[in-house]
Amino acid sequence: MRLNGLHILLTYQCTFECDHCFVWGSPRQSGTLSRKQLREILRQAEAVRSIEWIYFEGGEPFLFYPVLLNAVREFSAAGFRIGIVTNGYWATSLEVAMELLRPFDGLLSNLSLSSDLYHYDEAISFKTKNAIQAAESLGLPVGKISIAQPEVPQQRCSVRRQKNAFKAVATSESRVMYRGRAAEKLAIQTSWREWTEFSECPHENLHKLDRIHLDPLGYLQVCQGISIGNLFRRPLKEICDDYWPNDHPIVGPLLNGGPVKLVERYSLPHADAYADACHLCYAMRLVLRERFPETLVPDQVYGAI
């Protein structure tokens, strides 16, 4: 494994409880990194010389603003390029947004604002507009992340509406991936396909990982809920050096036949159809959790509050 990016979930706690959320972010969720833990993560990240990017995500990282700012300063001083993903709840006015973003001036290589109809009543909220304007005034690289609403099954909408929905996804929004909360809240709203169609993982390069997610409990996740180790128990560099994807009980089958292979390898009960590959994979992992308690973790990513 040659990691280029380490995506740090600073917290599972969030101001929202969005239906599409991979990690079940919620105001009631638990798990947040401390300054001491972040310094240990920094020490271990420096030992993996291929890492260039550090992203701070959540949950909502701005909920713990002093910890976030201190971590950005320390990781930036160590030579890493820094990104933050936030829903911008804090940008209640342009003036407030400027005050909160000004300390990051010269430290960020990317600021991504999540704004869509899951977060707000409009695709681009006034808070997002404030945050973007403030970032641009400060010269901070800024962009927007938007997730489309579930695609309505053909028999339930007009051809014109279908075309307009596809155009929106193609031009400015990403499609829902039906894992995490989306598997329970949104999958029912879209059309399903035969389970045998999902013979590959379409979203993650599991064979040659160039990024990995690190959660507040120390779990290194190749995809949300699939762990390859815990850096609070074993050094990050060792985990990276010893990553043999085909030997991993979950990654191996996914590489050699996608979620379908998970079903076949472990003879799992399943439905006839699912919303997408993520939906089938997530459903099968829920069944397998007791069998692989140190791999299909943490509880938060599987809906525990």
**Average pLDDT score over residue span 206-210:** 90
Return the residue matching tokens 């155009």: 167
**Average pLDDT score over residue span 260-283:** 98
Structure tokens at 126: 């006034």
Burial class of residue 298, CB neighbours in 10 A (0-12, 13-18, 19+): buried
Classify residue 263 as left (phi > 0), alpha (psi -120 to 50) or beta.
Answer: alpha
47, 236 Cβ separation under 8 angstroms? yes
Task: Give backbone dihedrals phi and psi of 295, rounded to 5 degrees, phi first.
Answer: -110, -40
**Average pLDDT score over residue span 196-221:** 95
Structure tokens at 104: 């990051």
Question: Mean pLDDT score of the chain, rounded to an integer?
Answer: 93
The CATH architecture annotation of domain 5-178+205-243+298-302 reads: Alpha-Beta Barrel (3.20)
Q: Which of 91, 165, 97 is nearest to 125 (CA)?
A: 91
- The pLDDT of residue 173: 85
**Average pLDDT score over residue span 10-18:** 97
219, 236 Cβ separation under 8 angstroms? no
287, 244 Cβ separation under 8 angstroms? no
Is the confidence at residue 125, as pLDDT, over 90?
yes
26-54 in b/e burial notation, b at 16+ Cβ within 10 A? beebebbbeeebbebbbebbeebeebebb
Could you tell me whether strands 53-57 and 81-86 are parallel, antiparallel, or unpaired per DSSP bridges?
parallel
**Average pLDDT score over residue span 16-44:** 97
Which pLDDT band, with edges at 50, 70 and 90, does 170 fall under?
A: very low
Domains of the chain, by residue range, sit at: 5-178+205-243+298-302
**Average pLDDT score over residue span 270-275:** 98
Which pLDDT band, with edges at 50, 70 and 90, does 172 fall under?
A: low
**Average pLDDT score over residue span 26-37:** 96
- The pLDDT of residue 304: 86
* Stronger pLDDT, 2 or 237, i.e. the higher one: 237
Is the confidence at residue 45, as pLDDT, over 90?
yes
Concatenating the DSSP letter of every residue in 235-278 gives -HHHHHHT--GGGSTTHHHHHTTHHHHHHHHHT----SEESSHH
Q: Which of 277, 275, 276, 245 is nearest to 261 (CA)?
A: 277
How far, in Å, CA of 114 to CA of 110, rounded? 13
Can you say whether the dihedral through the CA atoms of 212, 229, 219, 293 is positive or negative?
Answer: positive
216, 34 Cβ separation under 8 angstroms? no
Is the confidence at residue 95, as pLDDT, over 90?
yes
Helices (H), 14-148: 35-47, 65-77, 94-101, 126-138
Which range is least confidently modeled, 169-173, 189-193, 288-292, 299-303?
169-173
Structure tokens at 122: 């409009």
- The pLDDT of residue 154: 53
Is the confidence at residue 212, as pLDDT, over 90?
yes
Is the confidence at residue 202, as pLDDT, over 50?
yes
Is the confidence at residue 91, as pLDDT, over 50?
yes
Return the residue matching tokens 């459903």: 283
Is the confidence at residue 223, as pLDDT, over 60?
yes
Report the percent of the chain where pLDDT is more than 70: 93
